[in-house]
Amino acid sequence: MAIVAVLALAALAFDAAFATRHGFFDLKVYYGAVNWWVHGHGELYDFIKPRSTYGFTYPPFAAVAMLPMAFVPWGVAIVIASLLTIVATGLVVWWLVAEPDRRYKAALILALLIAYEPMRETFLFGQVNMLLVALVAGDLFFGVGKNRRWAGVGIGLATAVKLTPGLFILYLLLTKRWRAALVAMGTAAVTTLATAAIAPDMAREFFTNALWDTDRIGSLAFISNQSLQGLVARLNPEHPSSLLWLVLAIGVLVVWVVRSRRAYAAGDEAAGLALTGVVSCLVSPVTWIHHLVWLIPSLILLVNAGLADRAHRRRYWAIAGVSYAFLCSKVVWPFDNHFSSFWGFLGSNVYVFIALALLFLTPIRSPHEVVAQLGIAERGRSVGDPGVLS
């Protein structure tokens, strides 16, 4: 494990030299808003972090899930949030890494993720991203066999916390898992309605005002918005084209439908997770750089494919290596407010282009390869399951 230790130390040194210190900014918003609400200072969505324009932007159930923060000191909240992110990341990597030598491969990937910009941004902002990835991945990987009745619960909870994972409900519908999709929708609806019953004013404020208030999240053309909407907004920040965004979004959704159905038909649930994560980043109106942790499954699958397929090893590892290198580099930031030229447009949207490439290039294993590389992500679900598309 000496190589792992060296990589981890190198990644930490890289972060120490180049990472932006965010002081757990987003966690401060969560912590401040929940304390503001619980301790009777006012409604949740009335809270604005001092010396900023940022307030709580998530659905009401997210505040209920974060209630423990109202009863612990700030330092304890940082420790708990950080540990949860580390554990969630470890689980997701472990589930995705293929046999053999899973422990060693997982350790290597975790060491490399320390330098991965979306990962370090998630950690340094105190974001919830990896918890949502773990909820969705756990649901897809373990909602099979005897656990089938629970399929959809994790996706429903993730959707109730943040709307973007709702695309995985469409993935369930697309792959004809009607019961799991209904459970996911029911879970999201029940948790949202239960929260509305407890705090009706908070729910009304979110769905009638806060959800539509774009000033709470900043400019769509901001360099950190690495979605198709952000790309379009940087073409014309004052008047971004809704039609162009719609055409691009429909195009990537068509590709996603074709490739994710193919993945599910082959029994490759990991590829379905990866492709849906990638497309969620592309079609979401706002995809901050820390949201790009949803690209991690795709990068891991490229590494897995490189290890399993000697004939195409260089291709897979080149795609993974180049994508990873760019996504560690902060390459888009020099183009902040400098994206009007051709090179400025290219440089400011590098992460969008990487996500587009991964949508097309994420490997989908054949049924034989799924069985040969059978890991925890596919245990309990064989290619011959009735739920697999024909």
How many residues are there in the chain? 390
Strand partners, 55: 48
Q: What is the pLDDT of residue 42?
A: 86
Q: What is the pLDDT of residue 324?
A: 97
Q: What is the pLDDT of residue 374?
A: 55
Helices 129-142 and 153-161 pack at an angle, to 10 degrees, of 160
Burial of 255 (0-12, 13-18, 19+ CB in 10 A): middle
Q: What is the pLDDT of residue 389?
A: 33
Amino acid symbol at 121: E
Q: What is the pLDDT of residue 72?
A: 96
pLDDT by 10s per residue, the chain, length 390: 788 999 899 999 988 888 888 899 999 999 999 999 999 888 898 899 888 888 898 999 999 999 999 999 999 999 999 999 999 999 999 999 988 888 999 999 999 999 999 999 999 999 999 999 999 999 999 987 777 888 999 999 999 999 899 999 999 999 999 999 999 999 999 999 999 998 888 888 888 877 766 555 668 899 999 999 999 999 999 889 999 999 999 999 999 999 999 999 999 999 999 999 999 999 999 999 999 999 999 999 999 999 888 888 999 999 999 999 999 999 999 999 889 899 999 999 999 999 999 999 999 987 766 766 655 544 444 433 433 332
Q: What is the pLDDT of residue 375?
A: 54
Cβ distance 44 to 29 under 8 Å?
A: no
Q: What is the pLDDT of residue 368?
A: 67
Q: What is the pLDDT of residue 390?
A: 27
Q: What is the pLDDT of residue 386?
A: 32
Q: What is the pLDDT of residue 388?
A: 35
Q: What is the pLDDT of residue 117?
A: 96
Q: What is the pLDDT of residue 41?
A: 86
Q: What are phi and psi of 386, to 5 degrees?
A: -60, -25
pLDDT per position as a tens digit, 18-37: 888 889 999 999 999 999 99
Q: What is the pTM of this model?
A: 0.92
Q: What is the pLDDT of residue 216?
A: 57
Strand partners, 48: 55
Give the rounded distance of the alpha carbon of 287 from its chain centre: 9
Tracing tokens 């587009």 back to the chain, one arrives at 356
